[in-house]
Chain A
Amino acid sequence: MQPDEGSLRLDATHRAVVLLLIVVPTVLLVLGIYHGVLQALYRAGLIQSSTFLGIEYYQGLTLHGVINALVYTTFFEVAFGYVVVAYYLRCTFDARVTWLAFGLMSGGTLMAAWAMLGGSASVLYTFYPPLRANPLFYVGAALLVVGSWIPFFQWIPAYLRWRRAHPGQKTPIGVVGMLSTFTVWLIATLPLAYEVIVMLIPWSLGWTATVDVVLARTLFWFFGHPLVYFWLLPAYVMFYVMLPELAGGKLYSDDAGRLVFMLFIVLSAPVGLHHQFADPGISSGYKWLHGALTFLVALPSFITAFTLAASLEYAARAHGGSGLFAWWRRLPYWDADRYLFAYFFTGLVLFVFGGITGIINASTVMNNVVHNTAWIPGHFHTTIGGPVFLAFLGMSLFLVAQLTGRRVRYPRLNLWVPYLWTAGVAVFSVGLSVAGLLGEPRRTNLGPTYANPNSPLYHAGWRLWSDLGAIGGIVMGVAMLLFFVVFFGTLLGRRQQEPALALPTAEAYHDGPGRFVLNFRPWVVAAIVLLAIAYVPPIYEVVTGPTQGAPAYEPSSPVVAP
């Protein structure tokens, strides 16, 4: 598992591209975070209009979702993938292909950003036909996705070359994790590409009159759930490869990590109907099947919880920790040089709650209580807004510092970021979760009506919990303000050493033969078989069913768009 030698100097192209892939979406993230905080204020009734400083609520919600959940994550993961594959396999890639990938991704992002900022694409990141956006929004999204496929096809040959050159050796687990991540991404984005390229782009251009909304929803959530594992798996790579080393210990079990990544390849996609439990046009039997499979996909996260806790315990005991629980005190929570530990650990604390609420969401009939209520954003701010976001933030800072040869600016301030963010998310998510159980809807500008005492729609019972949401949202905003100061301060600081990569890499405590987890092929085959079982029948039902197509509507008008 150790790299062949110490630190690595990336070639000029990949150093530049990785930095751009991190810095560009971090700049956009300023906008995404701003609109996150604003939503919390709208929803608590602190803003009671439809527009604030020139941006309408749903336009801001679209920016928040697209930038934070699609652009920032995809850019970062491509950057991290290049770093991990190059570092552990000691390989280089064709610079022209890399630039092509970066060009497609950033060109697509610019198109979509232009449409969203101009107000012609307020359809949220879930697209939601028959609400219609500017065609450039869909084209931009397609280019971003297609661009992100390209690096994967640079990494696969590098991996195969390494395997041939190192017979009998286990592939470094970080590389296994990133290849799993992008396998999941490729599986997920094929139905999305079909929805966007075949259905939405011609329809938004007026070439086709109607769109099959039930099919579009089914294809979207075919993408939408493996998407969350696309976010989660790079964080798992950091947790398995780096966290035990940062804690001063070893990874409890190497094979467990490999099994987890393989299980996600198989189970992350055939579960998407659990987003559509409340939908018409799909038989409930298929929904139950996806519900059951979603319970199975909880297993690799249970394994992870055990393995990581065991790894941390090992590290703490190695540094004098003792007792049944007292060993928790022997971990480097407040070490400015090992700030990544704080970013990773706080994310895992949030993920305990994210995992439990996720199991509730997957629970078929229980979903009746929480579907489309504020409970759902309460849940996913403890998953993508918890371990995923914190790990990506910490690693962005780490990579920018190493690749530019700078030291982290304001190291003490930096340590506050993950703890403050976690406190903010805790308050925010409690507020939203309880409000959701009381029926408060998500994706809704509560300010002018439900949170406005002068409106006939006023809901006094939701108010306290929306106020908690606003308090949490403001704390999250302050945490991000500190992060931006540290991040851009570091980026714009003075070079202090030669730029070189050195990723913290843990040894394994148990390192078994990994009999069934060394080869991707059987797992990919299993994934395809399971996908066919889970998705062919419902899609056949939707396509041949009695559903009718729908014409296009602008979000601003209840009459069919011209």
Chain B
Amino acid sequence: MRKGYVETPIGQVHYREAGEGPPLLLLHQTAWSSIQFRNAMAPLASRGVRAIAIDTPGYGMSDNFDHPPSIIEYATVLSSVMDGLGLTKASIAGHHTGASIGAAFASRNPARVQKLVMHGVPLYTPERRAERLAQPHFDQTPKADGSHLSSRFQRALGTTPKASLEAVHWSTVNFYVAGPTEWYGHHAAFKYDMAADLTAIKSPTLIISNTGDTLHAMMPQIQKMRPDFTYKTIEGGTFHIVFDDGANWANVVADYIVGVA
């Protein structure tokens, strides 16, 4: 695996890359980083995909916005990332907030998106979005007894009790590495009215959902809106499935990007 930075208007964007073949940009959920794809990179590469996992601005090692950005602003940075990587066209696979960024990008830049994969599409109702936006941010203030870390870990495990402890650990680490603006990604996702962009997508699109994901319930509605999309349901899993089951996830994605092996 190789890592690097791309220059963009908001500063440096960090990425991890593996493999050769058709390029596939991987966009993580909030508040992770490209580490989410750690276990999927080599399997994707072995299937002949050039996998490029991006640290969304404000996460991992990427520079941040100076204000809470919108999903569309994240998508605009993605254009600069593609320019910096010399890619006129690529496939995109986004998970949760990453799926929102993928939808916003694909609907605005149809000529630049070969194929789109969205896993866990956060197509919330306006009521649910307003409710989530009203929730207070988690207090990151460090405590000498380390309880700021263990309490976050406990909460993260509580929302996804079937995930591996390793995944919950790395979600906690990524959350604190993102720092006091860790909520930017969720804020953008809950502000984002995805429905219009979903309707406008012209690229061939695969929707992945796993039955153990909190966003699985949104599948029927998406299917109703876009019966022309391809759908794939994975049994079980959590919203850490990309980290916990990277090899299988990579196969599902590669089957769609380069064809069934």
Question: Are these two chains actual partners, yes or no?
Answer: no
A interface, CB within 8 angstroms of B = none
